[in-house]
Chains A and B, each alone.
Chain A
Amino acid sequence: MKLRRTLAFTRRALLQFRHDRRTLAFVLLMPLLMILIFGYTFGGDVGNVKVEITNQDAGLEPGILPALPQGLHMASSVIDNLNKNTLSIHNSSDPQEARQVVDKGNAWAAIIFPANFTMTLIQNLNTSQVSARPIVEIYLDGSNPTIASAVIKTVSQAIQTTVGEIANKLNVKSIEMPITINQVYAYGGGDTKFIDYFAPGVISFAIMMVTTMITIILFVNERRDGTLQRLLVSPASETEIVIGYALAFAVIGIIQSIVVLVAAILLFNITILGNVLLALLVVLLLAFGHQGLGILLSAGAKNELQAIQFIPLILFPSILLAGLFWPIESIPSYLQPLSFFIPLRYCIDAERSIMLRGWGLGEIWVDVAILVIFAILTLAGSVLLLKKRD
């Protein structure tokens, strides 16, 4: 393999993109558009969720407990501590009424504090044996899991904050919680936004789509126009042709990734805990693999129209099974094994680990190894395909 001949192909392809402004725009703008659309539409966290609150808590009268001379009204404190950006609160005096509002679909949840809410907590303070825990009822419309979990998360955060305040006042270390939700984050923490989770997927997905589409069309045109035949009747080897084009896509892939990363950082303030260079390297491996796949698929298409028909074939399994929008764990269990055959899965997995967990090559090497194998197989297959003489 000669470097000069290999780079001649890289140069040619890159110059083509430079002249073909529309394709260049597509290559750069498509990933940007994706991160913008997805970032703004469902990148933001849930907000303005309508809830009904019924506060029946009688509280603790002042002067009864020496430790709390001002008395205590725990439910009110919890309500004060609710995130008002997430929840849009309407007060309702009757719990039954509040539930009905939810039943009618006019609110997502009814949050009901019982009369003994504060007192149960106080009683627990005095005994080592916890007889009954204070209960807050959340009457939920669970039809939208994202909203439902946002409500629960907001309420439990408010309770945690309130309990913390009371513990401070009482000068004790911990208090038995009204709802035992123990949130411990190994990674990410409570402030991980959906866009943080989504950005690594968008980068991987955009590069996969662009690389596959452009490669298929590039090689269909090479065959149709006869330029490929001309390359084959030249001293250049099939390996040089494939590697030369792969390098061109590497350059394009890096530029795409940088565009998306910069946009995601500037507009959505995404988190990147790990090594950005490693993140780029992983996505390049995916690009190499899909370039090989594109060359292989191009052999099955006689023109651009036929080539485009391959797109949904790659697009849908990748969107649905690779964990782009929702976790693979949420796919029906009998379909989950299919995701093992989708290279995008490993790329998204590795990118999330790098960006959100700050992991390095030591932790993500399995993903990387699979992507390397995928790239080697498809590129080697492409070389063999080009070497094929009927």
Chain B
Amino acid sequence: MLVIETEKLTKKFGNFTAIDSVNLKVDKGEIYGLLGPNGSGKTTIIKMLCGLLRPTSGNIKLGQTVPSKAVMREIGYMPQDVAVYLDNTVHENLFLFGEIGGLPKERLKKREQEMLEFVDLTDRRDAIVSTLSGGMRHRLSLACALIHGPSLLFLDEPTVGVDPELRATFWKYFEAMVKKEITVIITTHYMDEASHCSRVGLLRQGKIIAEGEPNDLKKRTDTESLEDAFLVLARGNKP
């Protein structure tokens, strides 16, 4: 079942074409990785999919509808910045996003407990966020995106500025979520991470230059790593 489908998705900022006629299809339960260097348009695509940016042309379908407030209940979004309230406690942050996500009181309490355990912040529940380490803030940010139980999760560079240990932990989280039938769209410029994805799209100057399973892409380009595969594909060599 298709969860996301875009058709000739295009975004222009003035004369600059940030996203150029992108056709994206993501199935339920996939971890789809948008890969590309800085400035290739990864964040712009995510923002359009979340309804934060309006496409210049082209269509987006989330399930059966366009991005709107009506489907936001199903969406979890972790922006590039840590995006949690630094002057509030861990609990208050989770509580806010749970409340506006529409969880009933009792369910919210239970979910908060689950989330705190999931990201290992149970003993920091009442700490003010500004007193937490960067890694803890990142984990809280993920929990805030998940607390209301979305079925579609957008993660914009969730592992930038995160130490290798936490990155490994994060990928464990993401894989665990997919088992719960959450579809994950993730952007990253760490090519090595992309091997965890079920499928990746290689983005360059606003265009998807190649798409497929990580191993498949390596095979097609006859390379050892996705990084090499990207370089081969970026040079325009036909696989």
A residues lining the B interface (CB < 8 Å): 4-5, 8-9, 11-12, 15-16, 19-20, 224-227, 229-237, 240, 389-390
Contacts and interface: CB of A to CB of B under 8 A. Distances in A.
Q: Which of A12, A19, A234, A389 has the most CB of B within 10 A?
A: A234
B231 interface: no
Given A19-B89, A225-B81, A235 B54 contact: no
Contact of A229 (B83, B85, B86, B88): B83
A389 B53 contact: yes
Interface in B64-107: 69, 72-73, 75, 77, 79-89, 92, 95-97, 99-102
Contacts of B96: 8-9, 11-12
A389 B85 contact: no
Q: Is the interface of A mostly helix, strand, loop or mixed?
A: helix
A16 B130 CA distance: 12
B208 interface: no
A332 B69 CA distance: 52
A145 B89 CA distance: 56
Given A15-B92, A19-B89, A226-B81, A5 B100 contact: yes
Given A15-B92, A227-B84, A232-B52, 9 more contacts: A12-B96, A15-B88, A19-B87, A225-B82, A226-B80, A227-B85, A233-B52, A234-B72, A234-B148
Contacts of B148: 234
Contacts of A230: 77, 79, 83, 97, 144-145
Contacts of A236: 100
Contacts of A226: 79-83
Contact of A389 (B13, B54, B92): B54
Nearest to A240: B100
B51 interface: yes
A251 B148 CA distance: 28
10 residue pairs, one from A and one from B, having the closest CB atoms: A226-B81, A226-B83, A8-B99, A226-B79, A233-B77, A236-B100, A389-B54, A16-B87, A233-B50, A235-B72
Interface of B: 13, 47, 50-54, 69, 72-73, 75, 77, 79-89, 92, 95-97, 99-102, 128, 144-145, 148, 154
Contacts, number: 84
Contacts of A12: 85, 88, 92, 96
Contacts of A229: 47, 52, 77, 79, 83
B88 A235 contact: no
A266 B97 CA distance: 43
A234 B83 contact: no
19 contacts: A5-B100, A9-B96, A12-B85, A16-B85, A16-B88, A225-B81, A225-B85, A225-B86, A226-B83, A227-B84, A230-B79, A232-B51, A232-B52, A233-B50, A233-B75, A233-B77, A234-B100, A240-B100, A390-B54
Contacts of B84: 225, 227
B72 A225 contact: no
B153 to A, nearest CB: 11
Nearest to B83: A226
A11 B94 CA distance: 13
A9 B99 CA distance: 9
Contacts of A4: 99
A19 B131 CA distance: 12
Given A8-B96, A389-B52, A19 B88 contact: yes
A31 B84 CA distance: 30
A240 B85 CA distance: 18
A5 B99 contact: yes
Nearest to A236: B100
Contacts of A15: 88-89, 92
A217 to B, nearest CB: 11
Contact of A234 (B54, B97, B154): B97
Contacts of A5: 99-100, 102
A222 to B, nearest CB: 9
B87 A20 contact: yes
Given A226-B80, A230-B144, A390 B53 contact: yes
